[in-house]
């Protein structure tokens, strides 16, 4: 008998076809965002789950689903998993690293450029029919080339952004991370390690690429924004909750920093109302990894993790591999 899996959100039809060769699949091609109770009810008789960042797997869900053995996330971030609770129950978690690195770094850089050069704001102005003449300082922004690029969180995506900045745009790249990179990687990214304080004070453009956890909650709040240059831009492609969005909305309103580019939000898909009313922010709906080839590669990797697990009791990108050693 084929193992039973739940695919919690809509996926590419080819992903469902692929999964159906190996599993008895319950899918959600209507793409309904299930409540926790609905998700739990559907997971109750399943052996595995194909999840996304919007599907919270915590101790309560796990307690109600004793058959569940693996949750394969179609995302590199996994703050939707209570990994400790999963490990305690012997449930494997997997994610999709590497396949989205370059696409996400491309988007981070695009958002940085759109923010610094005021692309969204000027496009809205044009569409509203307000463009009647040229003027010397119309939507004058800040430069990318030669500027100081600060990166907070220097994992694979952070390094991709550093390479783009240093090699493509001649930027002076500085970074801060929990642990310093080895000398060879620093040299390859042309990035210099600095304290968080120096990063905040000296970056012309600050890009956030760190994972979300209780420890990184509100890493950028009013106090940190106050340390940044009034001409600086801030880009968040990491996770909602890393920035205090209410404090950022006020800082943007009062021009305490010049502008922000945000792909992720606290409590998304809701967006803090203060961010919707200030002009100096570029807002995108959590699409940094969203190129067709990359989303297909992420879906394939999540599916392959399920297939490997049920056929060979291993996984390509496990998060808590101690579970595999348990039996």
Task: Tell me the two tokens of residue 311.
Answer: 């056929």
**Per rule CB under 6 A, is residue 207 in the interface with ligand 8YV?**
no
Backbone angles phi, psi at 129, to 5 degrees: 75, 20
Q: Closer to ligand 8YV at the Cβ: 166 or 283?
A: 283
**Per rule CB under 6 A, is residue 76 in the interface with ligand 8YV?**
yes
Q: Closer to ligand 8YV at the Cβ: 76 or 248?
A: 76
Chain positions 88 to 117 lying near ligand 8YV, rule: CB under 6 A, are 100
Whole-angstrom CA distances from 310 to 2, 3, 15, 20, 288 are 9, 8, 17, 13, 31
Q: Closer to ligand 8YV at the Cβ: 100 or 162?
A: 100
Beta bridge partners of 289: none
The one catalytic residue among 44, 217, 253, 286: 286
- Total site size for ligand 8YV, rule CB under 6 A: 8
* CA 76/CA 145 separation, integer angstroms: 30
Q: Closer to ligand 8YV at the Cβ: 52 or 177?
A: 52
Q: For the CB of residue 201, give the shortest distance to ligand 8YV in the complex, in Å.
A: 29
**Active-site annotation holds for 286:** yes
Q: In the set 56, 77, 202, 274, which binds ligand 8YV (CB under 6 A)?
A: 77
CA 105, 110, 111, 113 dihedral sign is positive
Contacting residues for 215 by C-beta, under 8 A, at least 6 apart: none
Contacting residues for 130 by C-beta, under 8 A, at least 6 apart: none
Stretch that binds ligand 8YV, among 71-79, 145-153, 202-210, 250-258 (CB under 6 A): 71-79
The one catalytic residue among 163, 268, 272, 295: 268
Q: For the CB of residue 53, give the shortest distance to ligand 8YV in the complex, in Å.
A: 3
Contacting residues for 205 by C-beta, under 8 A, at least 6 apart: 112, 115, 116, 142, 144, 147, 148, 149, 150, 232, 233, 235
Chain positions 232 to 291 lying near ligand 8YV, rule: CB under 6 A, are 289
**Per rule CB under 6 A, is residue 75 in the interface with ligand 8YV?**
yes
Q: Which of 26, 67, 23 is nearest to 44 (CA)?
A: 67
**Per rule CB under 6 A, is residue 11 in the interface with ligand 8YV?**
no
Stretch that binds ligand 8YV, among 75-83, 129-137, 144-152, 198-206 (CB under 6 A): 75-83
Q: In the set 65, 72, 74, 181, which binds ligand 8YV (CB under 6 A)?
A: 74
Q: In the set 15, 27, 52, 148, which binds ligand 8YV (CB under 6 A)?
A: 52
∠ CA 176-178-179 to the nearest 5 degrees? 90
Q: Closer to ligand 8YV at the Cβ: 150 or 240?
A: 240
**Active-site annotation holds for 198:** no
**42 close to 30: Cβ distance less than 8 angstroms:** no
The one catalytic residue among 205, 239, 272, 295: 239
Stretch that binds ligand 8YV, among 24-32, 69-77, 119-127, 212-220 (CB under 6 A): 69-77
Q: For the CB of residue 198, give the shortest distance to ligand 8YV in the complex, in Å.
A: 28
**Active-site annotation holds for 268:** yes
Q: For the CB of residue 252, give the shortest distance to ligand 8YV in the complex, in Å.
A: 23
Active site residues: 239, 268, 286
> Which residues make up the interface to ligand 8YV (CB under 6 A)?
52-53, 74-77, 100, 289
């Amino acid at each position: 008998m084929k193992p039973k899996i739940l695919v919690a959100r809509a996926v590419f039809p080819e992903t469902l076809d692929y999964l159906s060769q190996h599993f008895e699949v319950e899918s959600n091609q209507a793409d309904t965002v299930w409540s926790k109770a609905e998700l739990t009810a559907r997971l109750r008789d399943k052996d595995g789950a194909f999840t996304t960042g919007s599907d919270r797997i915590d101790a309560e869900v796990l307690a109600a689903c004793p058959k569940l053995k693996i949750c394969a996330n179609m995302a590199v971030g996994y703050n939707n998993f209570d990994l400790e609770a999963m490990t305690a129950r012997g449930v494997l978690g997997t994610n999709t690293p590497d396949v989205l690195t370059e696409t996400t770094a491309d988007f981070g850089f695009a958002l940085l450029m759109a923010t610094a050069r005021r692309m969204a704001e000027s496009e809205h102005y044009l569409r509203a029919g307000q463009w009647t003449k040229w003027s010397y300082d119309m939507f004058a922004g800040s430069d990318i080339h030669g500027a100081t690029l600060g990166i907070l969180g220097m994992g694979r995506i952070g390094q991709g952004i550093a390479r783009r900045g240093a090699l493509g745009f001649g930027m002076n790249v500085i970074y801060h991370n929990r642990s310093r990179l080895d000398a060879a990687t620093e040299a390859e990214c042309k990035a210099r390690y600095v304290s968080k304080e120096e990063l905040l004070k000296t970056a012309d453009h600050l890009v956030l690429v760190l994972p979300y956890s209780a420890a990184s909650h509100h890493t950028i709040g009013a106090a940190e924004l106050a340390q940044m240059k009034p001409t600086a831009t801030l880009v968040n492609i990491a996770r909602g909750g890393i920035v205090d969005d209410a404090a950022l909305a006020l800082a943007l309103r009062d021009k305490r920093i010049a502008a922000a580019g945000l792909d992720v939000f606290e409590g998304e898909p809701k967006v803090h109302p203060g961010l919707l009313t200030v002009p100096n922010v570029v807002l995108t709906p959590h699409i940094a990894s969203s190129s067709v080839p990359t989303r297909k590669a992420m879906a394939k990797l999540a599916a392959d993790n399920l297939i490997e697990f049920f056929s060979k009791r291993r996984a390509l990108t496990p998060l808590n591999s101690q579970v595999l050693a348990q039996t």
